[in-house]
Amino acid sequence: MNNYKKINFKINKNIEGSEGKKHFYLETWGCQMNEEDSEKLSGMLKKTGYIRTNNKHNADLIIFNTCCVRENAELKVYGNLGALKKLKEKNSELIIAVCGCMMQQKDMAESIIKKFPFVDIIFGTHNAYKFPEYLNRVKQEGKSVIEIQDKEEGIVEGIPVDRESSIKAFVTIMYGCNNFCTYCIVPYVRGRERSRKPEDIEKEISDLVSKGYKEITLLGQNVNSYGKDLEPKMTFAQLLRQINTIEGLERVRFMTSHPKDLTQDVIDAIAECDKLCEYIHLPVQSGSSNILKKMNRIYTKEQYLELIERIRKAIPNVAISTDIIVGFPGETEEDFEETLDLARKVQYDSAFTFIYSKRKGTPADEMEDQIDDDVKHNRFNRLVEVINASSAIKNKEYEGREVEVLVEGLSKNDDEKLMGRTRTGKLVNFTGEKDSIGNLVNVKITKANSFSLVGEQIG
């Protein structure tokens, strides 16, 4: 069944250009999907005449784009909202908006407005494109707007995007998730999987290339599921091969892949397509088949290791990163040792490691055998040691090699140096010509640190 529904975005002419020189402050928590949502919020606001500021004290509008994947993200929202009370008292014209995944949780909007009655606008992930309309209503009617849609309406195309970078960009290829991992709130706040039409994706990428963008990262909660809801159906591998033909595009990355859906045709596409980077982010979450079953991940430790073997056979120079959760309910010391064993066998280039935190509304929240915090932290520290050791080994292999680097700007640690990334995602700080920013250059690696490389530009 084709669930695709396309909505063409338009800004009301009564809103556009009406704001003069007003400023907005936008703060984002969460993943790349949240970051891309914020780029669209910023794009819509700039279209109406707003100017972005990094100082909330000078803002006429403050927006918090929230995450609910982990408890710490929610606590940050509460703390930051509380601090806005004094700003609102000083400036009654200040408009405060809260949006994002956290707002999609049951009763969350009501809780926010009860704790922080000075908030003017609350909306969720499914109706973010209506933000200019909500903003106009607050201005015209002087009343708060709270609108949370339980279900997604479809794919909205044509939203203006204010990109953070002029060199590389995120392009969402699908929304939502159908996997329902027992620890994850995403399917409940982002909805079911919906794929964008390939022609809309290609048009967006071609437009970015025409503006000088060199690298594109394709986004989706599970990109390997792309196209299953389209008519005619299209696989993710087919999309990758089509994107690889776009003239002027230099690099393509994607995230995130689910191990159960990463098929051989996707692996082959990476191996055969010159623009697809030799890098795969492949979240494992646990090395214990017992815990993986409780997580509803639909693969075993052995199947994951076999997949890693197939990837490295097809793409010998591939870099692999992952996500790992420590302290999932019921995780025994033996289960954790399985995770350490897997990490040592895979030898990840890098990993995002997390301590499990309960998320209300997920099955894992109700599970027995919750792990004590001190045990979680002990295991977390032991895992980080293993990951850091493998990262250092992987980086050491680059010493003396010449690599292609996309120059992104000045180094954050030394403004006399440049920084960029290899095709395998390695961060490189190097000496070179500043007019190389935005271009691909060859760099000889002279030193490998645990989390980055050092080098010098060649030619």
Q: How far does CA 178 lie from the centroid of its chain?
A: 17
Choose among 375, 278, 357, 286: nearest CA to 318: 278
Q: What is the 3-state secondary structure (H, E, C) of 330-395?
A: CCCHHHHHHHHHHHHHHCCCEEEEEECCCCCCCHHHHCCCCCCHHHHHHHHHHHHHHHHHHHHHHH
CA dist., res. 365 & res. 383, Å (int): 23
3-class secondary structure, 13: coil
CA dist., res. 456 & res. 432, Å (int): 6
H or E segment and range at residue 89? helix 85-90
For the beta carbon of residue 114, count every other beta carbon within 10 angstroms: 9
Q: Are 422 and 374 in contact (CB under 8 A)?
A: no
* Structure tokens given for 424: 């395998």
Amino acid identity of 94?
Answer: L
Q: Is 273 annotated as a binding residue?
A: no
* Structure tokens given for 145: 């707007």
* Structure tokens given for 63: 């927006």
Q: Is 68 annotated as a binding residue?
A: no
Q: Is 277 annotated as a binding residue?
A: no
Amino acid identity of 458?
Answer: I
Q: Is 31 annotated as a binding residue?
A: yes
Q: How far does CA 90 lie from the centroid of its chain?
A: 35
H or E segment and range at residue 308? helix 301-314
CA dist., res. 346 & res. 383, Å (int): 13
For the beta carbon of residue 111, count every other beta carbon within 10 angstroms: 12
| Residue ranges of the binding site | 31, 67, 101, 177, 181, 184
| Residue ranges of the binding site for [4Fe-4S] cluster | 31, 67, 101, 177, 181, 184
